[in-house]
């Protein structure tokens, strides 16, 4: 018979392994530790260049209330501009990468034709395309195309891998039951590829936010969070610059969180969880 102490330890171990425990305790403690380290570094280095958490929080709140000098728009307007570019680039990448990935994963001829071209452009960092796209597509569509490149390759790679991971037995069984190519894609291949697709979306979202900040820093029309960060750095208002970085972090967390929620929903819908 176990002692009360052993039962208490087992109960604590069971609680600590749950997701609720991590959300309610470990996550806040981790964030609190980060804020303390940040505050200490701001004292050690120089508060003029690295403001503390409180100063950045004040700037964060003020950026939504007061239009930025010379820009004449608030942080909400900058977020709207960045989201517009981000969504356009993401949708374009999705509409191109998913059909192309399905074809390259299923048809050897399509992979043979497209793969050499893909491999030429894949190693080039999305940031390297910023000056090229700004010259060709100008200040609005330039950042959109940078996001397109950043999201395109993770999506494409994961869709191709997902198609090739489909159990051949399922494909043979569907063909035996008389499924044509359209039904084969819609009933067998695409549903089996969804988890890989969602992984590609999650990776692409993170890369997309990095791309839009870099592109907007170099040039963007109508504002944007990246342009706001660069503009505040030029003015020497570093607490507002860091506030812009916090906004990007929040937007990234929200979009990735939505992506993971959709992934879990689709997994339950398709009976995979």
Closest CA to 143 of 131, 125, 156: 131
Q: Does residue 17 have a pLDDT over 70? A: no
Topology annotation, domain 53-270: MetI-like fold (1.10.3720)
- The predicted-structure confidence for 18-62, as pLDDT tens digits, reads as follows 555 566 667 788 888 888 998 888 888 877 788 989 999 999 999
The pTM (predicted TM-score) of the whole model is 0.81
Q: Does residue 15 have a pLDDT over 70? A: no
- The predicted-structure confidence for 95-104, as pLDDT tens digits, reads as follows 999 999 988 9
Average pLDDT for 169-177: 80
Domain map of the chain by residue range?
A: 4-45, 53-270
Structure-token pair, residue 22: 């991590």
Angle between helix 130-164 and 108-121 (nearest 10): 150
Distance of CA 213 to CAs 64, 144, 270, Å?
19, 11, 36
Average pLDDT for 199-203: 89
Terminal CA-CA length for the chain: 37
Angle between helix 225-235 and 190-218 (nearest 10): 30
């Amino acid at each position: 018979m176990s002692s009360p102490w052993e039962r208490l330890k087992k109960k604590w171990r069971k609680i600590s392994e749950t997701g609720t425990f991590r959300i309610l305790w470990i996550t806040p403690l981790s964030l609190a530790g980060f804020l303390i380290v940040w505050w200490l570094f701001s004292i050690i280095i120089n508060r003029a260049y690295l403001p503390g958490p409180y100063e950045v929080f004040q700037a964060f709140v003020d950026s939504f209330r007061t239009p930025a000098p010379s820009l004449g728009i608030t942080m909400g307007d900058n977020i709207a501009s960045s989201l517009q570019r981000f969504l356009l680039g993401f949708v374009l990448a999705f509409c191109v990468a998913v059909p192309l990935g399905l074809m390259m994963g299923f048809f050897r001829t399509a992979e043979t034709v497209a793969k050499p071209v893909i491999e030429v452009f894949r190693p080039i960092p999305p940031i390297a395309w910023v000056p090229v796209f700004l010259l060709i597509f100008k200040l609005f569509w330039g950042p959109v195309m940078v996001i397109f490149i950043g999201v395109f390759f993770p999506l494409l790679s994961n869709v191709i891998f997902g198609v090739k991971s489909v159990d051949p037995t399922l494909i043979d069984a569907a063909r035996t039951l008389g499924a044509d190519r359209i039904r084969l894609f819609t009933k067998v291949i695409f549903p089996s590829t969804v988890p890989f697709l969602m992984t590609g979306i999650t990776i692409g979202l993170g890369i997309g936010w990095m791309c839009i900040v870099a592109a907007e820093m170099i040039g963007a029309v109508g504002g944007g969070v990246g342009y706001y960060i660069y503009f505040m750095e030029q003015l020497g208002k570093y607490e507002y610059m860091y506030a812009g970085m916090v906004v990007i972090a929040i937007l990234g967390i929200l979009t990735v969180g939505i992506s993971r929620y959709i992934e879990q929903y689709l997994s339950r819908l398709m009976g995979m969880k």
